[in-house]
Structure 1
Amino acid sequence: MKIIDEIPASKTLEINAIATKLMNEGKDVINLTTGEPDFPTPERIKEKAKEALDKDFTKYTNSKGIFELRMTISKLLSKKGIEYTADEIIVTNGGKQAIYNALLAILDKDDEVILFSPLWVSYVPMILLAGAKPVIIRTTFEEGFLPNVNEIEKNITSKTKAILVNSPNNPTGVVYSESVIKGIAEIANKKGLYVIADEVYDSLVYDKPFVSLYNFVNPQQLIYINAFSKAYAMTGWRLGYCATKNRVIYNRISKIQGHTTSSVNSIAQFAAVEADKVDNKYMIDEFKKRRDFTVEEARKIGLEFVNPNGAFYLFFKSPLNDDETFCKKLLEEKLVALVPGSAFDAKGFVRLSFANSMKNLSGAFQRIKEFVK
């Protein structure tokens, strides 16, 4: 399979493999590569999963997701001012499947998708697997990693089908401003382009209210993506969802899911119905505390970065010209695992996840400080 052979291996996995080897050797590795909360899943969600087992809720479900969960998602979105009915929502095996299903539902061979780097590692492979072409617009450190709306206009061709937007952003932690969100929406609306809004980090915003693309994109052109992973510390439960008011696209996504993974794990779905009764503010408050600590420590060392207003990543300029060499040497010599920016189409930068304990963050920065000096 030529397309699969051309997709690069994950640099994140490469660093993790070295980290795992060192840990197996008994070394005290501090791993700050992981893009997942270190909190346990809220207790009442875990109790609901036990209830599912006790009730033998272990059979196939509707491939779109059980109605009760879709209603819960509808309520959760409504609290954010995002209005989708249960019949406009499809539950997926994580946010990743929601994105891939959306791409498959709208793309034909050789169509083009505009996206912005630094970008999440799976976007480009997904677009390639769909037979389409990624058109990457590179944002800059100097402009705060915010997309330049004029650059979007320049890159639109007769083959452009969609714009994929990730805000709050992984790996930069940048939250797109309202003016940028409006600018993207105006172009998409004018040109009749689909917009895939990956907003899985929208609950982790620290300084200003989050602005969703939902507020500005033509409803028939928007495919909204979110998940339980980050907001409820449920990464391993594999629960994401997409929503759209476009019935043609909705039915296509439903068909794709029905012929691939079918339904999502029944126990996970049953448990997640409880999510609208969970107060996850304690997680958000703790992440803000860690963000503030991370920023302060990074400044003391003299690292250069754009302030992360969302998600749980610090994306800084590599003290060495080669970000991969920096990450490998830091891991080998100081036992701190970070992800090279080249994994995100951003050579010369490094991603640090502060989804970890204050103790580990403090220890990591002490080691990074020693290494940089």
Structure 2
Amino acid sequence: MDIIDSIPTSKTLEINAIAKKLKSQGKDIINLTTGEPDFPTPEPIKEKAKEALKNNFTKYTDSKGIYELREAISTMLKGKGIYFSNDEIVVTNGGKQAIFNSIMSILDKGDEIILFSPLWVSYIPMVMLVGAEPVIVETKFENDFLPTKEDIISKLTDKTKVILINSPNNPTGSVYSKEILEEIAEIANKNNIFVIADEVYDSLVYDGSFTSLYGMVNEDLLIYVNAFSKAYSMTGWRIGFVATKNEVVYRRIAKLQSHTTSSTNSISQYAAIEATVTDNSKMVEEFRKRRNFAVEKAKEIGLDFVNPKGAFYLFFKSPVEDDEAFCKELLEKKLVALVPGSAFNANGFVRLSFANSIEILSEGFKRIGEFLKENINP
């Protein structure tokens, strides 16, 4: 149990739980912590779930996912210029399980995986559970939190087995350019290193267009991860997927899936078929408006941040050195919940989620501005 005991809890979920508890006590909480769209799941998807229930589609399924959904995912990906057949796809319980199954299927004890900081809270715990070693490439605020080729090469050893890329990025909102991805792919191909491409925010890009790692990394080295959670407001449905053309890795992922959770929820799978053909452009446009609003308000109250080009987070410099103390005091005095950057291996920063209405964001920034005037710059 030593490994599990050594793993930190998720600060994102921890702070979100505190905020929800305060709210249940009647406190007027502005909760800007979670990476979860506030929109309802689109009606056609919900109707598909009702159809599943009506048809008694409530039994075990193929642990890799029902054929119809894997085929629908394959077709959806073709529309993005990404080509995986249905028998190269495994449907998982959200993107989180897709990533964990991938890590578990590639890394052995003592192997190294390159991660880029700031990083999503669960990457390091997942690597620790395998017994592998996370090797952190520290990206810089001044470089929009994007790595350089030299940064990556400096971390390579004969134990480097995987590079994990998350673009658009949680928590920074940065989107990797085609040039940077080509450099990463070149390093991976040259050194025979696996690449896990976590692209769950790929449809939430507001400036320019999104570039996938697919087609850059040698096909036997690429493990592609995506999910319906963010793009279709289906966080609670727990439907993600992983795809790879590497037959050995694919068999391992499928085997691991069969011995852990078996299949994912049958009704969610059935509903997700509809998600593959659902237009989410209105939601994306609303997120763009919220991004623009958050950027404008952050400038008005004097926050220092990198302009988020994707996802739905504003990652700014903490006005005080101790980001956890800042978030705690802000919650106590102004009832605004944010996530300290230390949760993402980025001390001195703070994450704000703009996956909330303009009205909630407006009140949140108003309170943050008041807090800054009263406590930081009186």
Q: 1: distance between equivalents of 2:131 and 2:34? A: 30
In the alignment, is residue 369 of structure 1 matched against residue 369 of structure 2? Answer: yes
| Aligned twin of 1:300 | 300
Q: Which runs of 5+ in 2 are unaligned?
A: 374-378
Please say which of residues 178-187 and 18-27 is displaced more in the overlay.
18-27
Q: Cα deviation per residue 1:197-250 (whole Å; 9 max; x = unaligned)?
A: 000000000111101111310010000000000011000000000000111110
| Aligned twin of 2:86 | 86
Give secondary structure in 2 for the equivalent of 1:212: coil
Q: Cα deviation per residue 1:148-170 (whole Å; 9 max; x = unaligned)?
A: 21121111111110000100000
Q: If the length of structure 1 is used for normalisation, what is the TM-score?
A: 0.99
Per the TM alignment, residue 16 of structure 1 is displaced from its structure 2 partner at its CA by 2.4
| Aligned twin of 2:100 | 100
Per the TM alignment, residue 19 of structure 1 is displaced from its structure 2 partner at its CA by 1.6
Residues 39-78 of structure 1 mapped to structure 2, 5 A cutoff = 39-78=39-78
Per the TM alignment, residue 171 of structure 1 is displaced from its structure 2 partner at its CA by 0.1
| Aligned twin of 1:325 | 325
| Aligned twin of 2:263 | 263
* Identical counterparts, % of pairs: 69
| Aligned twin of 2:230 | 230
Q: 1: distance between equivalents of 2:19 and 2:57? A: 39
Per the TM alignment, residue 75 of structure 1 is displaced from its structure 2 partner at its CA by 1.3
Per the TM alignment, residue 8 of structure 1 is displaced from its structure 2 partner at its CA by 1.4
In the alignment, is residue 13 of structure 1 matched against residue 20 of structure 2? Answer: no
Q: 2: distance between equivalents of 1:27 and 1:276? A: 39
Q: Cα deviation per residue 1:85-104 (whole Å; 9 max; x = unaligned)?
A: 11110000000000000011
Q: 2: distance between equivalents of 1:188 and 1:6? A: 31
Q: Which runs of 5+ in 1 are unaligned?
A: none
Q: 2: distance between equivalents of 1:369 and 1:285? A: 27
| Aligned twin of 2:376 | none
| Aligned twin of 2:173 | 173
Instruction: Verify the 8 A CA contact 2:10 2:122 in the aligned structure 1.
Output: no
Please say which of residues 359-368 and 148-157 is displaced more in the overlay.
148-157
Per the TM alignment, residue 127 of structure 1 is displaced from its structure 2 partner at its CA by 0.4
In the alignment, is residue 252 of structure 1 matched against residue 252 of structure 2? Answer: yes
| Aligned twin of 1:350 | 350
Q: 1: distance between equivalents of 2:21 and 2:50? A: 35
Q: 1: distance between equivalents of 2:238 and 2:300? A: 38
Q: 2: distance between equivalents of 1:286 and 1:215? A: 31
| Aligned twin of 1:157 | 157
RMSD: 0.8
Per the TM alignment, residue 15 of structure 1 is displaced from its structure 2 partner at its CA by 2.0
Q: 2: distance between equivalents of 1:34 and 1:266? A: 26
Q: If the length of structure 2 is used for normalisation, what is the TM-score?
A: 0.98
Instruction: Verify the 8 A CA contact 2:166 2:198 in the aligned structure 1.
Output: yes
In the alignment, is residue 148 of structure 1 matched against residue 153 of structure 2? Answer: no
Per the TM alignment, residue 268 of structure 1 is displaced from its structure 2 partner at its CA by 0.4
Q: Cα deviation per residue 1:269-308 (whole Å; 9 max; x = unaligned)?
A: 0111111331110000000000000000000111000100
Q: Cα deviation per residue 1:5-38 (whole Å; 9 max; x = unaligned)?
A: 1111222233224323321221100100010110
Instruction: Verify the 8 A CA contact 1:52 1:267 in the aligned structure 2.
Output: yes
Q: 2: distance between equivalents of 1:167 and 1:17? A: 27
Residue 277 and residue 11 in structure 1: after superposition, are their counterparts in 2 closer, same or farther (change >3 A)? closer
Q: Cα deviation per residue 1:32-89 (whole Å; 9 max; x = unaligned)?
A: 0010110000101100100100100000000000010001111111111111111110
Residue 113 and residue 300 in structure 1: after superposition, are their counterparts in 2 closer, same or farther (change >3 A)? same
Instruction: Verify the 8 A CA contact 1:72 1:275 in the aligned structure 2.
Output: no
The amino acid that maps onto 2:355 is A
Q: Cα deviation per residue 1:310-351 (whole Å; 9 max; x = unaligned)?
A: 000000001111100110111110011000000000000000
Q: 1: distance between equivalents of 2:324 and 2:262? A: 39
The amino acid that maps onto 1:39 is F
Q: 1: distance between equivalents of 2:267 and 2:168? A: 29
In the alignment, is residue 121 of structure 1 matched against residue 121 of structure 2? Answer: yes
Q: 1: distance between equivalents of 2:323 and 2:154? A: 30
Moved over 6 A (4+): none
Q: 2: distance between equivalents of 1:206 and 1:104? A: 33
Instruction: Verify the 8 A CA contact 2:118 2:344 in the aligned structure 1.
Output: yes
Q: How many residues align?
A: 373
Q: 2: distance between equivalents of 1:298 and 1:132? A: 39
Residue 274 and residue 13 in structure 1: after superposition, are their counterparts in 2 closer, same or farther (change >3 A)? closer
Q: 1: distance between equivalents of 2:166 and 2:111? A: 20
Instruction: Verify the 8 A CA contact 1:175 1:309 in the aligned structure 2.
Output: yes
Please say which of residues 211-220 and 19-28 is displaced more in the overlay.
19-28
| Aligned twin of 1:193 | 193
The amino acid that maps onto 1:290 is R
